[in-house]
Structure 1
Amino acid sequence: MRRTQAFLISLLLLLLNFCGQPARQPDEVRLRLAIDPGNISPISYNSQEALQIINLLYQSLLTVDLEDNELKPGLASAFPEVERKDSLTFFHYQLRPEAEWSDGSPVTAQDVAFTLKVLKSPFIRNENIRSQIEFIHDIQLDASDPKKFTLICQGFTPEMQLLTGDFFILPSYLLDPQQAFATIPLQAWSTADSSRYNTDRTRAVAARCNKLGSPESKDILQGSAGYQLAEWATGQYVVLKRKENWWGKNTGSTTGYLTANPDQINFQIIPDNTTALLALKNAQLDVLDNIPVNDFEKLRQDEGFLKNYELHTPQGYDLIYAAINTRKPKLRDKRTRQAIAHLMDIPGMIRVSQQSYATPTVGPIPPDRKELYHPQLQPRSYDPGQATTLLKSAGWIQEQKGWYRNIDGQRQDLRIELLYRAGNTMYEQMALIFQQHAAQAGIPVTLLPLEGNVYNQRIDQRDYDMHFRGISGNPFVFNFKPLFHTSFAGPGGFNTTGFGTPESDQLLNQINEAENETDKARLLHRLQEIIQEEAAFVPLYFRKERIAIHSRFTDTKVSGIRPHYDLSSFMLKP
């Protein structure tokens, strides 16, 4: 009876979800988002769901073609010319002559300069992206050509070419109509006296930029890519419409990766997996990713479903990890954290939550990057005996009800509150496995599934003992400074565990400065050793993606790089 009732509720939710929205177009792609993007600002997004939408609205200087996973020019007409002088590196860029904004005005070097000033401004909420461009020292505009500019960078690394082109370019005419930022040098934002630029005019720009990405900012939420926001019903759907006469169609045959093919892209916000699968089977969704393993295996055996859909399993760069909060007194000793890590049955977690669709890892480097992945380290084994030994060495005393020790003059019981995102079956299964093994070792674990915004708030405020999370990487850049450097350990920073030693901080700087792969590999190997020793950030596995795409589309460009397919390239089969 309960199963029938649950099915009826899911069906009702599905029907309600599809009511009251734009009519489906023949040339439309519909797909599911598991959560509302919340904020689709190109300067302060905090979710992959938001980034997927932003990529269809805005463009960077460089882009990745998911057809071959190669880096290619985006808004730039070519890769930059690189010139090195002493400790500085100059990247000379030229923008595409066709590139223009929604109002038909050209994308210029002034827009690039404005974007960099926004990303470096202390008055704008962009802390996470700001760290990625800290090496860009200044920008020089070409007086003879508004489409030419030079980025002046401190030092040199091979990855700088990507990083100089890996941020969304903003339209200054929409965000700074009075050109308040135009006269402020880029270098000024990095100096101690930047507060003197905190004027009424610059505060107005900051307010506009901080508002960007909300449903109320539709009038200024416009980029140079092929789509624009048509409708956004919070918690229900986000609809993008293709621009008329988009400039990208006029760049020639060599830029076939600059696409805007479907007339409409409709993101359905469906938190519940059962409801999403029902919508897929009823052909109300064209694309569904992150399909739970058991459901994916059932789809593989469903001949009726396979007549209309194709299934894909690209090897991805999504790392699933456990984070242990080193700020908590009971978790401050690394031997305690190592003991907890030995209670994580990684093969069991993979078997139950992923089956064959995951690869264990010793660190944040994908195992298929063999030259950078540590050749001697092994993933930490599930070993309750070793966990007990480590706890005793850390001063914990075992009694009938569990473990305790005196910390700072007070008794502390070893109890763990484990946070994870509610509604995520993978994390729930992993949490239950860990809870069971920890209980057998005498450590009570309380499971606390939380809705996305509450979950993120707890993590940002460092109000947790332990949590499960995933991060997305790529095969191009291994800049782990935001994730592990102590300068990013404050509230809101990416270093949520408080991980970091003087040696690891130095290593992270050296990795970003390494000029050849041999040096980078040596430094990354040592970083992986420290990560395993400190056991604050506990890498578990890299996932394979599980995707269903309706077979009426071609040119889907399925890839291991997120979002694992290129919606803008989808073409209806004849």
Structure 2
Amino acid sequence: MAIDPGSLSPIGYTSLEALQVINLLYQSLLTVDLEDNTLKPGLASAFPEVERKDSLTFFHYQLRPQAEWPNGSPVTAQDVAFTLKVLKSPFIRNENLRSQLEFIQDIQLDPSDPGRFTLVCQGYTPEMQLLTGDFFILPSYLLDPQQAFNAIPLSALSSADSTQYNTERIRAVAERCNRLGSPESKDISQGSAGYQLAEWATGQYIVLKQKENWWGKNAGSADSYLTANPEQINFQIIPDNTTALLALKNAQLDVLDNIPVNEFDQLQRDENFLKNYDLHTPQGYDLIYAAINSRKPAFRDKRTRQAISHLLDVPGMIRVSQQSFATPTVGPIPPDRKDLYHPQLQPRPYDPVQATTLLKAAGWIQERNGWYRNINGQREDLRIELLYRAGNTAYEQMALIFQQHAGKAGIPVTLLPLEGNVYSQRIDQRDYDMHFRGISGNPFVFNFKPLFHTSFAGPGGLNTTGFGTPESDQLLNQINEAESEANKARLLHRLQEIIQEEAAFLPLYFRKERIAIHSRFTNTKVSGVRPYYDLSSFMLKP
């Protein structure tokens, strides 16, 4: 891992590194089998039965009878209800996940079967089936031993006013949930998946150990993808790429992903290395983008941001930093989703002449040493501080290319590589001009509300650029409610146009993953969907 996960909370994680570990500790109702990139039942025994009545949709679920918690008690519908209440609770820090479940209004438990329940949802979209099963189920016996949340109807937390439930007992549960996933909370950070957290030395390593007599080994035909084969999984946290590659070449690592392009190319030609390792390049759904802080006075005019986007030489960046392992894009939709990707929109080209024209139109005055303008009687120079994660060779190369092109156009760019936690903190606090970053997606769901809606633009929200217009906010809501694929495509096409017009969030390219896995393993399930391989399924070759 390039960075420490920070938190392994299944309701409050903020990094992809954390998600990879959490997937080995907790389970959701539905899961993705990386063997064939298909959706399959997880804790649920089957896909939900769907029933539509007027403006409501009912998803009828049945849990697997074998599913159990670490103490041997069964996973029940009551645990699902508790989890949804936690995810919707205003007393718990889970803002990034809460929006994804807005459409779930209530849950109905079956009094005759503790494993059966119905989710009552507002409206209907084809993606709802996945979304109703795409959240980690929490053990209520560990987090709410006094069953304080049992008395709160889920429908009440779905409404505007839930202050009546802000009691001492509820606050105690909230405090426990907010502590979930920290290195000091191993006693409550336990799920129904095949592993448990054994050790966590912050910034150094994380150790997971296989549970004894784990229930998933008796899940019938599902045991091909509900797996816990390795007895122990050790994650080494190595921020520096050079150090990680050295550890790989010395056979101190079994798996390394996100290998820099030049080093990956060398490994492909290293016969001694290839005797012991297999190399993989699945087409992924990781989007690399540039972000401009539209809140800052210098960047509030979209013409200024458009000018900056014309100084991003994306083909050059791909050539230098990714070679053939990337595909340019006009938006956050993967180009291989041809039904949803905008068919006419073209990536904004590298064009310093157009950048100059736009800067002048935005009121910037060109001098010998750069650009300035007067704002409220104060002189403001156009300068950019560009943040990116230290040790990431691709970002470093891209930053140097941008610095060179912007400098020729008269815009000084200061490069500021930062360690993972400091870098994330600066962005979360909106303390930046521009940064490079990556986000992970999938080919199943396109809920961009947390990323682009103005309600998520505050400190800590995922909308770090301040992007958003009344039209884009409305589009984001409509996309999540669209019932037909044709209507969703039309709405997503318009969203991509606005994203390019506003030029605060600048999509650059989707990259292929570059992975090395020791050849003594089989059943690795290498995929384009994160985490690109299933560690729980690894087996040793005879």
Does the pair score TM above 0.5? yes
Note if 1:445 corresponds to 2:413. yes
Cα distance in 1 for residues equivalent to 2:42 and 2:344: 39
Query: What CA deviation, in whole Å up to 9, does each residue of 1:439-491 have, x standing for no partner?
Result: 00000111111111111111111111111110000000011111111111111
Q: Is the CA contact 1:108–1:146 (under 8 Å) kept in the aligned structure 2?
A: yes
SS of aligned partner of 2:289 = strand
> 1:511 — aligned with what?
479
Contact kept, 8 Å, 1:330 with 1:407, in 2: the verdict is: no
Cα RMSD after superposing both structures:
0.8
Query: What residue is the counterpart of 1:241 in the other structure?
Result: 209
Cα distance in 1 for residues equivalent to 2:299 and 2:91: 35
1:415-438: CA deviations, max 9, x gaps? 111111111111111111101100
Q: Secondary structure at the match of 1:530?
A: helix
| Equivalent residue, structure 2, for 1:103 | 71
Post-superposition offset of 1:191: 3.1
Match of 2:236 in 1: 268
> Per-residue deviation at 1:254?
4.4
1:48-78 C-alpha deviation (Å, 9 max, x unpaired): 1110000000000000000000000000000
- Which ranges in structure 1 are unaligned for 5 or more consecutive residues? 1-32
Cα distance in 1 for partners of 2:160, 2:61 equals 29
Look up the equivalent residue of 1:322 and give its one-letter code. A
Cα distance, 1:271 vs structure 2: 1.1
2:141 to 173, 184, 205: 173
Within-5 A mapping of 1:263-342: 263-342=231-310
Question: What SS is found at the alignment partner of 2:288?
Answer: strand
Match of 1:498 among 466, 472, 482: 466
Query: What secondary structure does 2:229 align onto?
Result: coil
Look up the equivalent residue of 1:60 and give its one-letter code.
S
Q: What SS does the aligned partner of 1:217 have?
A: coil
Q: Distance in 2 between matches of 1:104 and 1:560?
A: 35
Which residue identity is paired with 1:226? G
Which of 27, 34, 47 is the matching residue for 1:79? 47
1:468 to 436, 440, 447: 436
CA–CA distance in structure 1, aligned partners of residues 248 and 426 of structure 2 = 33
Partners of 1:192 and 1:97 in 2: how far apart?
36
Q: In the alignment, which of 521, 524, 527 is matched to residue 492 of structure 2?
A: 524
Aligned length: 542
Q: Report the 3-state secondary structure (helix = DSSP H, G, I; strand = E; otherwise coil) of the residue aligned with 2:510.
A: strand
Residue 255 of structure 1: CA displacement?
Answer: 4.1
State the secondary structure of the residue aligned to 2:149. Answer: coil
Residue pairs, 1:389-400, within 5 angstroms = 389-400=357-368
Deviations 1:84-138 (A, max 9, x none): 1111111100000000000100000000000001111111111001111111101
User: Is residue 101 of structure 2 the alignment partner of residue 126 of structure 1?
Assistant: no
Measure, in 2, the Cα distance between the counterparts of 1:416 and 1:299: 36
Deviations 1:221-268 (A, max 9, x none): 100000001111111111111111110110112441110101110001
Residues 310-331 of structure 1: per-residue CA shift (max 9 Å, x gap): 0000000000000011111110
CA–CA separation in structure 1 for the residues paired with 2:391 and 2:169: 44
Aligned pair partner of 2:18 in 42, 50, 57:
50
Identity %: 87
The CA distance in 2 between the partners of 1:89 and 1:409, in whole Å, is 57
- How much has 1:284 moved relative to structure 2? 1.0
Map of 2:519 onto structure 1:
551
TM-score normalised by L of structure 1: 0.94
Distance 2:188 2:130 in 1: 27
Q: Which amino acid aligns with 1:497?
A: T
> Which amino acid in structure 1 is aligned with residue 61 of structure 2?
Y
Tell me how far apart the structure 2 counterparts of residues 253 and 186 of structure 1 sit (CA, whole Å).
34
Give the aligned partner of residue 22 of structure 1.
none
Aligned twin of 1:26: none
Question: Counterparts of 2:431 and 2:6 in 1: how far apart (Å)?
Answer: 22
Aligned counterparts, 1:227-238, within 5 A: 227-238=195-206
Amino acid across the alignment from 1:521: A
Question: Bigger shift: 303-312 or 195-204?
Answer: 195-204
CA distance in 2, matches of 1:129, 1:567: 25
- Corresponding residue of 1:12: none
1:480 maps to 2:448: yes
User: Where does residue 424 of structure 1 map in the other structure?
Assistant: 392
Q: Which residue of 2 aligns with 1:28?
A: none
Counterpart-to-counterpart distance in 1, 2:34 and 2:160 = 42
Distance 2:470 2:483 in 1: 22
Kindly state the Cα deviation for residue 390 of structure 1 after the two structures are TM-superposed. Answer: 0.5
Q: Give the 3 Å change call, closer, same or farther, for CA 150–462 of structure 1 in structure 2.
A: same
The whole-number CA distance in structure 2 between the counterparts of 1:110 and 1:405 is 61
